[in-house]
A and B are shown apart, each in its own frame.
Chain A
Amino acid sequence: MSAEVPEAASAEEQKSEHNLLFWFMQPLIVNSLEEMEDKVTSPEKAEEAKLKARYPHLGQKPGGSDFLRKRLQKGQKYFDSGDYNMAKAKMKNKQLPAAAPDKTEVTGDHIPTPQDLPQRKPSLVTSKLAG
């Protein structure tokens, strides 16, 4: 990245301009310094602000951490056998909507059916590391 070269101006002009600007800009400089300090001391907070701007409902759900519950529920396909059979009946002919990645929901909005589930067969192929 090349450094920017400031436009040349006569020395006197520069000096008087600078004096005016200095006094005028004083409060403005202080404010932006504070802002800069916030960002400098906490890039995390800046990132947090970014995230909150994109997902305003994040973190507002009561009752335990979403992340933890999601982690504990990993691998769960159906709530119970009734859920499974209902899903099988309903989704028989329908086209399934693509699961939208939604950071605020713990459970997905997409109920998988047997056709959806990948074939759970063991790898009969030898690992490529052994090749």
Chain B
Amino acid sequence: MWCFSQVKGAVDDDVAEADIISTVEFNHSGELLATGDKGGRVVIFQQEQENKIQSHSRGEYNVYSTFQSHEPEFDYLKSLEIEEKINKIRWLPQKNAAQFLLSTNDKTIKLWKISERDKRPEGYNLKEEDGRYRDPTTVTTLRVPVFRPMDLMVEASPRRIFANAHTYHINSISINSDYETYLSADDLRINLWHLEITDRSFNIVDIKPANMEELTEVITAAEFHPNSCNTFVYSSSKGTIRLCDMRASALCDRHSKLFEEPEDPSNRSFFSEIISSISDVKFSHSGRYMMTRDYLSVKIWDLNMENRPVETYQVHEYLRSKLCSLYENDCIFDKFECCWNGSDSVVMTGSYNNFFRMFDRNTKRDITLEASRENNKPRTVLKPRKVCASGKRKKDEISVDSLDFNKKILHTAWHPKENIIAVATTNNLYIFQDKVN
């Protein structure tokens, strides 16, 4: 039973482009929640420490830090406008007091260090409190500077800038389980980086054809295996997933496994390839399964079985009879993401009309919920929604034609340990919690 917890962002309907949320990600402990937007800004929320007395709900998320990660650029040589939109944020596991995350736009990946400062030195002999240098001849006594507590300040500083390695647009970054390397993927190539080295990157996948006229598919997403540091997968616009083993060769153009569901050729239509394009791929926490999202469904694959998924969940099958208009308004190209819960028992993905869907893999039950300000009293239980495909519409159901296709939920995230979810509408971030007790 899901309850409203918080909503962040402006209420007004007139959404500035810069405010469009483009990525949402919890860190490894779930204490921090980061969002990136089209304006190149990152906002990090921190969960407040639980009040042990009032344990009916888990801590709220409040703003911890915000900074400008990327800025718009113009590549004069190629005459390319480089958007500052943050495509992905990935957290590094915490090694010391500071937090680190990777954020990327279309061309450049940056490693950001977020650190806290809660004390400052005071009582310098040669400097005034405001930083100005004192005339040494005016110093008559000496004192020992001391650290005094100050209001908590959270600082974000760029520690590494990984640039100039991608000709095409970066769609994914993924940190390896060795915590030393990471991959970045664009439409045609995947590169391997070392977190300490910014002037070199290894190309590990290259699907660019010698003759661009022969281009038939592009890379849509890529991810490292959560446990095997030699294994990664990448998905394509044709609905296939390739698993590669970096031990096999330096250039992983030949896959170790190819995951593809056979298609019935009689069902093929103009839309088949477009709707089969995979918009997101995510390994389960266990590493045994991976989930893919295509336009109409979510599929769970067992890494041991390449010829078909083990589970398929329909997200919004009623849209199949609306493909013509969805093609005309470009919605058919929307890239929905998907995510697992901490125990890999439930998966979640977004849809239109600010609806999002959850599928319980064990009970085979699914639910549709709505992210809306209408239910924004804390601990209000969310009412399940239902879309009526055609014919008789029951009370409380919404007909397909009334769906607002401008209200899309593309980005969702699930807390790694608890039943807390973050759901991004166009410009608002909703946080929902499972009813405790």
Contact = CB atoms under 8 A, between A and B. Distances in A.
B262 interface: no
Given A44-B323, A48-B269, A129-B8, A122 B79 contact: no
A63 interface: yes
Contact of B74 (A43, A52, A120, A128): A120
B13 interface: no
B320 interface: yes
B214 A64 contact: yes
Given A44-B267, A44-B269, A65-B215, A123 B187 contact: no
B323 A128 contact: no
Given A44-B267, A123-B40, A51 B324 contact: yes
A121 B72 contact: yes
A71 B18 contact: no
Contact of B218 (A54, A68, A117, A122): A68
Given A46-B321, A50-B324, A64 B215 contact: yes
Contacts of A68: 215-218, 237
B87 interface: no
A93 B71 CA distance: 32
Interface stretch (A8-16, A17-25, A77-85): A77-85
B43 A127 contact: yes
A64 B216 contact: yes
Interface residues of A, number: 45
A54 B8 CA distance: 42
A42 interface: yes
Nearest to B44: A130
**Best-surrounded residue of A59, A68, A103 (most CB of chain B within 10 A):** A68
Interface in A72-131: 72, 74-81, 83-84, 103, 117, 120-123, 125-131
B66 interface: yes
Contacts of B237: 67-68
Contact of B19 (A47, A64, A74, A127): A127
A67 B35 CA distance: 29
B82 interface: yes
Interface stretch (B122-130, B239-247, B270-278, B348-356): B270-278
B213 A47 contact: no
A74 to B, nearest CB: 6
A74 B169 contact: yes
B144 interface: no
B168 interface: yes
B106 interface: yes
Nearest to B82: A75
B322 interface: yes
Given A42-B269, A72-B218, A130-B63, A47 B79 contact: no
A58 interface: yes
22 contacts: A46-B321, A47-B320, A47-B321, A48-B323, A54-B324, A59-B270, A64-B212, A64-B213, A64-B214, A68-B217, A69-B212, A71-B187, A72-B188, A72-B218, A76-B79, A76-B81, A77-B79, A77-B81, A120-B81, A122-B71, A129-B8, A129-B9
